[in-house]
Amino acid sequence: MRWLKLTLAYDGTAYAGWQIQPDQPTVQGTLQGAWREITGEQVRLTAAGRTDAGVHALGQVASVATESTIPNDELCRALNARLPYDMAVLAVDDARQSFHATYDAVSKTYRYRIDNGRIRSVFDRQYSWHYPRPLDAYQMQVAGQALVGRHDFASFETAGSERPDTIRTIFRLVVARGSDDQADFITLEVEGDGFLYNMVRAIVGTLVRVGCGARPGEWVADVLSARDRRRAGQTAPAEGLFLVHVNYG
């Protein structure tokens, strides 16, 4: 038995999320199917972040234990030859024994894209949230710093999650408007040691309330300390969210 680390990119538009489900196209199910065709093995791939329906990945990481002796490069090529064009294996690397993509992650980085143009960008419709009201990215950036550090993020967790503990650490949160031909786009990038269910999307929905002028920047700290989901902004739509990078230290 050997342990492997797979780095993956996928366009989440056509998938009901990472996690395998009966009668639904899922990222995990599609990958495990391709793996079985190549190796004959029925493996279980574990992802660093179980992305929801419509959420994308630029650098998802999955761990797998295998009996296959196919060289890593060949495995990578064979998987890409079988996967649909909206998924790609970027790398297959050896990992230490018992490597676990979720538990061994030191931090994860997510990106959220807002299309803030008056008229939607037709090419970004599946890769951004079209929010046509003017947004002040600088105010969002300043207000968002209240969330950096170790906090109880209960106000930013969608109910129904099984996670017993709502304390997480955000290492970095940056909101910026693009330049040149990206000037209509606002990007939020956030790195943390873990994220509650829909946490990034609730942060985006909250900062947008500040960005459009409906709430002052100080309101974000009030939302955080309330530990009450009803106090925060809406859950921003899935299609703007990307899992960018997983750091294993």
- Contact between 115 and 208 under an 8 Å Cβ cutoff? The reply is no
Q: Which residues contact 86 (CB under 8 A, 6 or more apart)?
A: 10, 11, 13, 14
**What residues line the site for a second copy (CB under 8 A)?**
9-11, 56, 76, 80, 85-90, 119-123, 125, 127
- Choose between 92 and 147: whose C-beta lies nearer to a second copy: 92
Residue with Cβ nearer a second copy (76 or 175): 76
**Closest distance between a second copy and the C-beta of residue 2, in Å?**
23
Residue 121 CB, shortest distance to a second copy, in Å, is: 8
Residue 68 beta carbon to a second copy: minimum distance, rounded to whole angstroms: 20
Return the HEC string of 19-71. Answer: CCCCCCCCHHHHHHHHHHHHHCCCCCCEECCCCCCCCEEEEEEEEEEECCCCC
Beta carbon of residue 123, minimum distance to a second copy (angstroms, whole number)? 6
Contact 150, 194 (CB under 8 A): no
Smaller CB separation from a second copy, 69 or 123? 123
Side chain identity at 69, as an amino acid letter?
Answer: T
Q: Where are the beta strands (DSSP E) in the chain?
A: 2-10, 46-47, 56-66, 87-95, 107-115, 129-130, 149-152, 167-177, 185-192, 241-247
- Tokens representing 188 are 């939020």
Closer to a second copy at the Cβ: 91 or 226? 91
Closest CA to 199 of 236, 249, 150, 149: 236
Question: Which is catalytic among the residues 11, 52, 115, 184?
Answer: 52
152 as an active site residue: the answer is no
Cα 242 from Cα 234, distance rounded (Å) = 18
Radius of gyration of the chain (CA): 19
Query: How far apart are CB 62 and a second copy at their closest, in Å?
Result: 15
Single-letter residue type at 60: Q
The helix/strand/coil state of 91 is strand
Residue placing its CB nearer to a second copy in the complex, 68 or 121: 121
Q: Which residues are catalytic?
A: 52
